[in-house]
Amino acid sequence: MRSAVIALCLFAIFMGGCAAASKNQPARPQGDQTSADESGQTRVRKDAATQTARVICGPDGTGVLTPRVEARPDGVHFVVDNRFKKGSSYSFEYPEGGGGGDSVPRGESEHVGDFPPGKIRIGCEKPPVDGTDTDYETLEVVDPGGFYKPVELECRGGMAVSGGPQYAEGVRGKKGYPVEMTRRQFSDHIRDGDRVELAGYPQIRDYRTVRVVRDGRVIATVVYSRQGRGWLQDRYEACESFQAS
């Protein structure tokens, strides 16, 4: 019996000593742990790309709430939240020059752009809309899915030609696949071994761009606009070497 009591006393002393040792260890503050976790999560959220960008327009200027947006097969989706009391417009600019824009109603409106991967400047204009008071912010487009194919010509010598047909009012689009339409229309210029394929974003809603690639270089692009249930050629650009084929 005495042995059992001694054993219990030793056990209690041992456990008490362990507990005391644990209490003497410098503990990491729980608040610091939470802060580290929360800051880590915030950092991930800021670095991650969203599927729909959000742009705020208002008296205080333009705000891009989502600095990185992920491209989809049909383009770059973004929402413009117009907080002006009147309709406004947004504009975008590419680093190398050029750009575009569109009008936006009051409140939130959804848009799809054909911005290529990389950084663009996007901004809202303060009413009245006259092209003189636009505040820009940076938006970065990423394309991890590899949906976008470049449409810029790569002409040797830099010489290119461009043009497009003229249509009578009310003309209907032709049914067919734009790639095959390009093959037929430009059969005299397309060589064996040329790659004819969709370019830009392959599922963008209102138009399709077809490119011709020869020896690894883009030498021609043809743009088709959607008309009803068919397509009409809108414009084309081509290197002189393509025209001379």
Tens place of pLDDT for every residue, the chain, 245 residues?
Answer: 444 444 434 344 344 444 433 334 333 333 333 334 443 333 335 567 899 999 999 999 999 999 999 999 999 999 999 999 888 899 999 998 899 999 999 999 999 999 999 999 999 888 877 767 789 999 999 999 999 999 999 999 878 999 998 888 888 899 999 999 999 999 999 999 999 999 999 999 999 999 999 999 999 999 999 998 899 999 999 999 898 77
Residue of 151, 159, 152 whose CA lies nearest to 242: 159
User: 225-241 burial string, b = 16+ CB within 10 Å, else e?
Assistant: ebbeeebbbbebbbbeb
Kindly state whether residues 83 and 118 are assigned to the same domain: yes
Domain of 161?
156-243
In this structure, the answer to whether residues 168 and 212 fall within a common structural domain is yes
pLDDT, residue 40, reads 39
178, 211 Cβ separation under 8 angstroms: no
Tell me which DSSP letter residue 94 carries.
-
Q: Which of 115, 124, 222, 129 is nearest to 178 (CA)?
A: 222
In a domain, 18, yes or no: no
In this predicted structure, what is the pLDDT of residue 5? 40
How far is the C-alpha of 85 from the C-alpha of 125, rounded, in Å?
Answer: 13
Tokens (6 digits) for 94: 């590419």
CB atoms within 10 A of CB 195: 12
Task: Point out the domain boundary residue: 107, 142, 177.
Answer: 142
**Based on the structure, what is the number of domains in the chain?**
2
CA 220 to CA 233: how far, in whole Å? 14
**Of the residues 115, 142, 169, the one at which a domain ends:** 142
List beta partners, residue 41. Answer: none
Residues 121 and 198 in one domain: no
- The residue from 85, 117, 142 where one domain ends is 142
- Does residue 99 sit within a domain? yes
Task: Quote the tokens at residue 34.
Answer: 């939470």
Radius of gyration of the chain (CA): 30
Q: Which CATH number does the domain housing residue 95 bear?
A: 2.60.40.420
In a domain, 40, yes or no: no
Query: Token pair of 243, please?
Result: 């025209």
Domain identity same for 56 and 130: yes
pLDDT of residue 81: 96
Residue 213 Cα distances to 154, 182, 193, angstroms = 9, 13, 9
Are residues 121 and 62 both part of a single domain?
A: yes
**Shared-domain flag, residues 60 and 110:** yes
Do 163 and 137 lie in a common domain?
Answer: no
The answer on 99 and 166 residing in a single domain is no
CA atoms within 13 A on the CB side of 78: 34
* Phi, psi values for residue 59, rounded to 5°: -55, -25
C-alpha to C-alpha distance for 121 and 151, rounded to whole angstroms = 20
Q: Are residues 58 and 138 in the same domain?
A: yes
pLDDT of residue 10: 38
207 shares a domain with 163:
yes
